[in-house]
Structure 1
Amino acid sequence: MSMLAARSVDAGEARAAAGAVLEPEAGVPLADLGLVDDVSVHPGGRVRVRVHLLTRDHPSADALAEAVRAAVSKVSGVRRASVDLAPLPERARAELGDRLRAGSPPAGRTPRIYAVASGKGGVGKSTITANLAAALAAAGQRVGVLDADVWGYSVPQLFGVRRSPIAIGGVMLPVRAHGVRLMSTGFFVSEDQPVVWRGPMLHKALEQFLADVCWGELDVLLLDLPPGTGDITLSLLELVPDAALLAVTTPQAAARAVAARVVRMARDARMPVAGVVENMSAAVCAHCGDSTPLFGEGGGDALAEQAGTEVLGRVPLDLPLREAGDEGVPVVLRSPGVPSAVELTRIAATLPVARRSLLGRSLPLMVR
Structure 2
Amino acid sequence: MSSVSLPAADRTVTHLVLGEPAKLDVRATPPTSRAVYAASHVVADPLRASAENASDQIDWEATLRLRRDLWSLGLGVAESMDTAQRGMGLDWSAAKELAVRTVADAKSVGGRVVVGVGTDQLESERPSLAEIRDAYIEQIDAIESSGGDVVMMASRHLARAAEGPDDYRTVYDAVLSAARRPVILHWLGTVFDPALDGYWGAEDPSVAMDTVVEIIAAHGDNVRGIKVSLLDQSLEIALRLRMPAGVRVFTGDDYNYVDLIAGDGTHSSDALLGAFAAIGPFASAAFARLDADDLHGFKTVLGPTESLSRLIFASPTQYYKVGVAWLAYLTGKQNHFRMIGGFETGRSLLHLADLVRAADAIGLFPDPDLTADRASAYFAVHGVN
The answer, yes or no, to whether TM exceeds 0.5 is no
Could you say which structure has the higher helix fraction? Answer: 2
More RCO (CA 8 Å, sep 6+)? 2
Structure of higher CA gyration radius: 1
- TM-score norm. by structure 2 comes to 0.31
Select the structure that is richer in strand.
Answer: 1
Q: Could you tell me the TM-score, scaled by structure 1's length?
A: 0.32
